[in-house]
Amino acid sequence: MDFKFTEDEEVFKREVRQWLEQEIPQRWIELDPGIWEETEESWALAREFQRKLGEKGWLAPAYPKEYGGLELSHMKRLILAEVLAYSRAPLSIEVEVTVNWVAPSIMLFGTEKQKRDYVTSIAKGDIIFCLGYSEPNAGSDLASLQTRAVEVGDEYVINGQKTWCSYGHLADYCWLAARTDPDASKHEGISIFIVDMKTPGITIRPLINILNRHSFNEVFFDDVHIPKENLVGQKNKGWYQLMIALDFERSSIGYAAANQRIIEELIKYAKETTRNGEPLANDPLIRNELAQLAVENEVARMMAYRIAWMFSKGLHPSYESSMSMIFISEVMRHTANAGGRILGHYGELDRDSKWTVLNARIMRMCLSSLSIGVGGGSNEIQRNIIAIRGLGLPRK
């Protein structure tokens, strides 16, 4: 099997790299925000860069042209995602949420007006969505959610609470799952809504994460009135739509490229750093660990390529997305832990120390990786999906 890109795809890859060399702001490189480390300054830089990508048609390259895309092949979309991730381009996690999770769901289930109003604006980089999924008593068991949406005339009135709402304090809209039939079984009676985050009745309270950053939030809905037209898809059929959206979330395209950059930096550090007069790279234990990381990351990359191939054939990845999500989460944790062992106590220092190495990225990755494998459905849930959908094992 030939895994090489075509000549046209290689030309596109070079074009993206050259453009990024000119367009990534120096200030973004200085801030160097990792996962869940956005500040208001880095968010502003990311939004500006997002609009530049939108102007080139590269923010949503595979979208139909009538909705702001270029209808590029899914392989070119993969190449773009990889180069952006490897280059550490100014894109927040909510761009991934908005462009690759929410908009494809709107294109599948939304009305023509919703596609024109939201998908086109997403492709331009003008709006950002946050997710209104988890609740205090509904995390991995998402079907237990209790936020209510009651139909009143030409509106829905929403009451309830969401938690772990990433960047809800900065987002324009919320992609909200709410219960519209309280008498139905827990997997029935759920609907999906688009909610303007400026709507009266919405209260946002910050949750400070392990990196001492404000990325997560509690969001309260108290008699929040939204137009009836903000219902996405069929009423009470939201669980099916939710599962499709989560499959988009779990595809993990691009993560292996970002992790590859870190592995390469660890290899360079091991070659250049000496201990007792010998480079760390001469230590067979370190060499073996780095080699193992490289192999694991290549496997994760091939899983992402498989998903891109499935999209290119009009197939919908389901358990394949769960496989990819589990594997890349474990590779990223392995990378963080291995990096900590290779760097030793230097890897424990933050960026304010003159002795820090690799801009404290390994220390920050060790902290942020604790939540990898939980968000988007825990790895235990993903293994259940693989067992049931992929292997055909019984639910009980």
Q: What is the CATH number of the domain that holds 307?
A: 1.20.140.10
Q: Are residues 271 and 366 in the same domain?
A: yes
Q: Are residues 82 and 141 in the same domain?
A: no
Q: Are residues 333 and 363 in the same domain?
A: yes
Distant-in-sequence, close-in-space partners of 161: CB < 8 Å, separation ≥ 6 = 135, 136, 147, 218, 219, 220, 221
3-state secondary structure at position 108? helix
222 backbone dihedrals φ, ψ, rounded to 5°: -120, 100
CA distances from 275 to 71, 268, 270, 343, 363 (A): 52, 15, 10, 11, 21
Q: Are residues 58 and 136 in the same domain?
A: no
Active site annotation includes 249: yes
pLDDT at 313: 85
Residue 287 falls inside a structural domain: yes
Residue among 158, 184, 170 nearest 130 (CA): 170
pLDDT band at residue 249, thresholds of 50, 70 and 90? low
Q: What is the CATH number of the domain that holds 81?
A: 1.10.540.10
Mean pLDDT of 131-147: 92
Token pair in block for residue 303:
């899983």
Among residues 91, 119, 147, which one ends one of the domains?
91
Token pair in block for residue 128:
């950002």
Q: Are residues 267 and 218 in the same domain?
A: no
- Partners of 56 in the beta sheet? none
Residue 219 falls inside a structural domain: yes
Distant-in-sequence, close-in-space partners of 178: CB < 8 Å, separation ≥ 6 = 132, 145, 147, 148, 149, 156, 158, 160, 190, 191, 193, 238
Residue range 70-82, pLDDT digits in tens: 999 988 988 999 9
pLDDT at 341: 95
- Give the end-to-end CA distance of the chain in Å, rounded to a whole number: 39
Residue 166 falls inside a structural domain: yes
Query: Is the model's pLDDT at 26 over the cut of 70?
Result: yes
Q: What is the mean pLDDT of the chain?
A: 93
Q: What is the CATH number of the domain that holds 210?
A: 2.40.110.10
Among residues 191, 217, 238, which one ends one of the domains?
238
Residue 112 falls inside a structural domain: no
> How far apart, in whole angstroms, are the C-alpha atoms of residue 269 and residue 356?
12
Query: Is the model's pLDDT at 251 over the cut of 60?
Result: no
pLDDT band at residue 179, thresholds of 50, 70 and 90? very high
Among residues 41, 75, 91, which one ends one of the domains?
91
* DSSP per residue, 318-373: SHHHHHHHHHHHHHHHHHHHHHHHHHGGGGG--TTSTT--GGGHHHHHHHHTTSTT
Query: Is the model's pLDDT at 111 over the cut of 80?
Result: yes
Residue 119 falls inside a structural domain: no
Residue pair 266/93 in contact (Cβ under 8 Å)? The answer is no
Residue 115 falls inside a structural domain: no
Token pair in block for residue 171:
């987002």
Residue 114 falls inside a structural domain: no
Q: Are residues 209 and 295 in the same domain?
A: no
Residue range 95-110, pLDDT digits in tens: 888 998 899 999 999 9
Mean pLDDT of 258-277: 96
Q: Which residue among 94, 135, 249, 320 is the active-site one?
A: 249
Query: Is the model's pLDDT at 253 over the cut of 80?
Result: no
Residue range 329-384, pLDDT digits in tens: 999 999 999 999 999 999 999 999 999 999 999 999 999 988 887 877 788 888 99
Q: Are residues 232 and 290 in the same domain?
A: no
Structural domain that includes position 48? 7-91
- Name the residue with tokens 């392989």: 75
Mean pLDDT of 207-222: 96
The total domain count for the chain is 3
Mean pLDDT of 122-139: 95
Residue pair 165/131 in contact (Cβ under 8 Å)? The answer is yes
pLDDT at 1: 52
Q: Are residues 23 and 55 in the same domain?
A: yes
> How far apart, in whole angstroms, are the C-alpha atoms of residue 94 and residue 100?
10
Query: Is the model's pLDDT at 152 over the cut of 70?
Result: yes
Q: Are residues 196 and 324 in the same domain?
A: no
Query: How much of the chain exceeds pLDDT 70, in percent?
Result: 97
Token pair in block for residue 34:
């990792």
Q: Are residues 295 and 315 in the same domain?
A: yes
pTM over 0.75: yes
Q: Looking at residue 237, what DSSP letter applies?
A: B
Q: Are residues 221 and 264 in the same domain?
A: no
Residue 2 falls inside a structural domain: no
Ranges 6-10, 21-25, 90-94: which has the least confidence: 90-94
Q: Are residues 259 and 231 in the same domain?
A: no
Residue among 29, 7, 138 nearest 76 (CA): 7
